Amino acid sequence: MNLNSIKKTILAATICAVFTAGSALAGTVTLKLGHLSNEETTWHKAAVKFGEEVESLSDGRIVVIVYTNSSLGKEMDRRAGMQHGTVDMTITGESLQNWAPKAALLAVPYAYKTIEHMDSVASGEIGDMIEAQIIEKAKVRPLAYFARGPRNLTSNRPIKSPSDLNGLQVRVPNVPLFVDVWDSLGAKPTPMAFSEVFTSLQSNVIDAQENPLALIKSASFFEVQKFVNKTEHVRSWIYLAISEKTWSKLSATDKAAVTEAGERAQAYERMLFLEESDKLVAELEEKGMTFVEVDGESFASQAKDAVLNNVNEEIMPIVKALFKN
């Protein structure tokens, strides 16, 4: 081989190497994942686990940056960001019913008796229908679901029955069914972003709120609320989800990595959830909160009537079947 041939070979190899490196760099994907909670929650830990798994499974092509405490915006802002391409992923739940009516089934008051009952729905035929409609109408693709502990009402006076509510101003998420149910129970429901709840309780803009014990603890509501009233009115799940806009840009290989990472994150979150459930009551009592037993039958009876009177016709047959189980 003469000198000119050698030079041409070296040049060609150099160009090829530069092109390959450039292609690898261009193929790197950074996903922005925003959620409402802080670093203590199982949701956040599972989101971090998802990022670790997908980076490993994709050989470093996909990097996930997790943003806590609504730092990528409130839930509706994150949803808008997913439409516009500024947010890739989030953890979201029944508020998706504003676009996909079947998402209301994620959190129907008093519909799921146990976590096993909820799992059978979330991972079964009904869950498949919910996810398909969310993808179609909300343009968001569920990758995993996380269990949530039962929602309980917190307040600064004990609430033992619906008659005790008597106009209590209760923060609820922007979920029409929740508004209808609490209104029927005698409260004054006030939709509000989660990020505004603590200061609103502190300044007496609202009197009460309702959430799972994990969020009551992580949001430090024990600093501004004295009682946990054990209404346990909703057992539900929530999705780790990616925008369809982002999903459509991924290669088949990377979609497989993201899907597998979602499954691993789901299993990891469930392990953490079960470990945490036994500790939360004691931890909140140590923080000064008092747990109040309630007339569960009265709450359930009035809530079910409100659900059946207000639930979307599209899901009415499913809800009626759930109540019979």
Contact by Cβ (8 Å): 209, 154: yes
Return the CATH number of 29-324, one of 3.40.50.2300, 3.10.20.740, 3.90.1150.10, 3.40.190.170: 3.40.190.170
Per-residue pLDDT at 177: 85
Can you give the length of the chain in residues? Answer: 325
Per-residue pLDDT at 191: 95
Can you list the residues of the chain whose pLDDT is less than 50? 1-26
Q: What is the C-alpha to C-alpha distance for residues 281 and 287, in angstroms, rounded to an integer?
A: 10
Per-residue pLDDT at 80: 85
pLDDT > 90 fraction of the chain, expressed in percent and rounded: 72
Contact by Cβ (8 Å): 290, 229: no
Per-residue pLDDT at 309: 85
Per-domain residue ranges of the chain: 29-324
Three-class HEC string of the chain: CCHHHHHHHHHHHHHHHHHHHHHHHHCCEEEEEECCCCCCCHHHHHHHHHHHHHHHHCCCCEEEEEECCCCCCCHHHHHHHHHHCCCCEEEECHHHHHCCHHHHHHHCCCCCCCHHHHHHHHCCHHHHHHHHHHHHHHCEEEEEEEEEEEEEEEECCCCCCHHHCCCCEEEECCCHHHHHHHHHHCCEEEECCHHHHHHHHHCCCCCEEEEEHHHHHHCCHHHCCCEEEEEEEEEEEEEEEEEHHHHCCCCHHHHHHHHHHHHHHHHHHHHHHHHHHHHHHHHHHHCCCEEECCCHHHHHHHHHHHHHHHCCCCCHHHHHHHHHC
When computed from its CA atoms, the radius of gyration of the chain, rounded to whole angstroms, is 23
Per-residue pLDDT at 298: 93
Farthest CA pair distance, the chain:
97
